[in-house]
């Protein structure tokens, strides 16, 4: 890591602290691991305490780690958890809004209402709750970086994507709105939009590991580590550089509906 991208606060030799939601698996966990390599202290959030404990044990060898066990869908729990941070972790320099989900692949006319609620509550409202809890301290300090994990589904609607695509379009719009509103405070705002990524996330979408695994046969999908590296690239730019938006596909993917498979 070159000196130009060392994670320091200004000229002070004080390490940055990042809060990551959905940190127990997939992109969130890979991002925590990537940040730990570069000496960024971590607040890891998730619904599964056992997994949080496992990640904490692993990464505490490298940086200071604190865990918060809550569901971003629960507004009161979100504010209570973030409000409980010990003093050493209260200054959040980097917020990674990663928690999200996709449920089902039904056409709109037969869509499951519980699936719709889950996607909108986690992908949109959960992101807003966490951001609302963190942003005031950033505006007060006039510094910080917010990265919202969107999706290629936020840029392109595809068959049977309806509500999921709608939620990710909302994430992109919110991200752009954040960038405008927080501009006077010098706060960076970034959207990272991956295409097909091979994680546990897919098991939820396809409602079973077997179906999810079949989706990735015949080509090499993005891995969580690929996205984590892009996230670190964004946060490690010099102070005057903001990576506003990244759309990333695996080589085999050209769009949401075009994937080259070797079957």
SS3 at position 83: helix
- Answer for the pair 93, 143: CB distance below 8 angstroms, yes or no: yes
Among 177, 179, 48, 169, smallest CA distance to 120 is for 169
Cβ neighbors of 99 (< 8 A, separation 6 or more) are 21, 22, 28, 45, 46, 72, 122, 126, 127, 130
Tell me how far apart the alpha carbons of residues 83 and 145 are, in angstroms, rounded to a whole number.
19
Instruction: Tell me which residue has tokens 């060392």.
Output: 6
Tell me how far apart the alpha carbons of residues 158 and 139 are, in angstroms, rounded to a whole number.
37
Catalytic residue among 129, 164, 206, 232: 164
Cα-trace Rg, the chain: 18
- Answer for the pair 250, 196: CB distance below 8 angstroms, yes or no: yes
- Token pair of 148 as six digits: 């919202």
Tell me how far apart the alpha carbons of residues 228 and 18 are, in angstroms, rounded to a whole number.
13
Torsion of CA 33, 127, 140, 36, to 10 degrees: 0
Is residue 206 among the annotated active site residues? no
Catalytic residues: 164
């Amino acid at each position: 890591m070159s000196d130009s991208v060392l994670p320091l606060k200004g000229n002070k030799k004080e390490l940055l602290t990042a809060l990551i939601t959905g940190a127990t698996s997939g992109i969130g966990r890979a991002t925590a691991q990537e940040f730990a390599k570069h000496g960024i202290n971590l607040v890891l959030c998730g619904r599964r305490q056992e997994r949080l404990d496992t990640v904490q044990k692993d990464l505490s060898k490298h940086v200071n780690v604190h865990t918060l066990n809550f569901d971003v869908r629960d507004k009161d729990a979100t504010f209570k958890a973030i409000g409980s941070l010990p003093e050493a972790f209260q200054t959040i320099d980097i917020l990674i809004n990663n928690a999200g989900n996709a449920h089902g692949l039904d056409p709109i006319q037969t869509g499951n209402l519980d699936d719709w609620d889950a996607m909108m509550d986690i992908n949109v409202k959960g992101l807003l709750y966490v951001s609302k809890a963190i942003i005031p301290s950033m505006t007060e300090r006039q510094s910080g970086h917010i990265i919202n994990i969107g999706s290629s589904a936020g840029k392109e609607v595809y068959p049977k994507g309806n509500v999921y695509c709608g939620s990710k379009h909302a994430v992109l719009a919110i991200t752009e709105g954040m960038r405008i509103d927080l501009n006077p405070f010098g706060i960076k705002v970034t959207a990272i939009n991956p295409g097909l990524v091979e994680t546990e996330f897919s098991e939820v979408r396809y409602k079973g590991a077997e179906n999810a695994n079949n989706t990735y046969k015949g080509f090499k999908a993005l891995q969580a580590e690929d996205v984590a590296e892009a996230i670190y690239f964004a946060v490690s730019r010099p102070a005057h550089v903001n990576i506003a938006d990244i759309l990333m596909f695996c080589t085999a993917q050209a769009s949401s509906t075009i994937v080259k498979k070797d079957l």
